[in-house]
Structure 1
């Protein structure tokens, strides 16, 4: 019995696809089980901070372009708008990139 030549590449592709898909699930599950280990580099500890809202330090190189759009203002009605960040491990992802 001969195999159909057009089916052989499809079967090979499906077998490889299933093998690689199963391996990807293991990696994703390992990262979800221990997210700190997956994100941190060797020997570094996550920034803890105080957890309070603090003013943005525009001298920090991670906030280089933020000073163009995060400008504290007072509206005509007297409302004060201040841009603050939370002093914790998310401090550099609180503001959107420019």
Structure 2
């Protein structure tokens, strides 16, 4: 008997999340801005979008909408949260939780 589609989708989502976690753990020894820009595509995309966005402070919803194209809402939120944490740690960008906006580190200081 074939597994229901929802169960298959959940398994695929868990595999994607596990792959993301594996990628994050591989990056752990190299948590500097240049390494993250070249080895973490989502972090690079966020930094690039911040450089080109009007006002340089897009809301997190912008990035969630993009991630929703390929991931469930929960997966998208998890991935964005990890990217925000790691990008903030590497001082690439800041996250303002009160306004749910991101800003380039050099522009927010």
Query: Under TM normalisation by the shorter chain, which class is it?
Result: 0.3 to 0.5
Bigger CA radius of gyration: 1
TM-score using structure 1 length = 0.33
TM-score using structure 2 length = 0.30
Q: Judging by fraction of residues, say which structure has more helix.
A: 2
